[in-house]
Amino acid sequence: MGIIWWLIIGVATIIPMLKLLPFFGINTYWAAICILPIGTVGLIWWMSIKLQELEKR
């Protein structure tokens, strides 16, 4: 039963990442790393770095 919840949460984070990542100039294939919780945190951190770079311009 735990694996089902893991997949539901993974899909619920991958779909928004597919929409957000191209805006920050990151390839959409990186959204697959959201299967792991640390991958989601890493992508959010990466997007925040890119956002800071965009704000400097």
pLDDT digits 0-9 by tens, 21-47: 999 999 999 999 988 889 999 999 999
What pTM value is reported for the model?
0.80
Tell me how many degrees the CA angle 5-10-13 measures, rounded to the nearest 5: 130
Name the residue ranges covered by the structural domains of the chain.
2-56
What pLDDT, on the 0 to 100 scale, is given for residue 14?
93
CB atoms within 10 A of CB 31: 21
On average, the pLDDT of the chain sits at: 90
What pLDDT, on the 0 to 100 scale, is given for residue 16?
92
Residue partners of 25: CB distance under 8 A and separation at least 6: 50
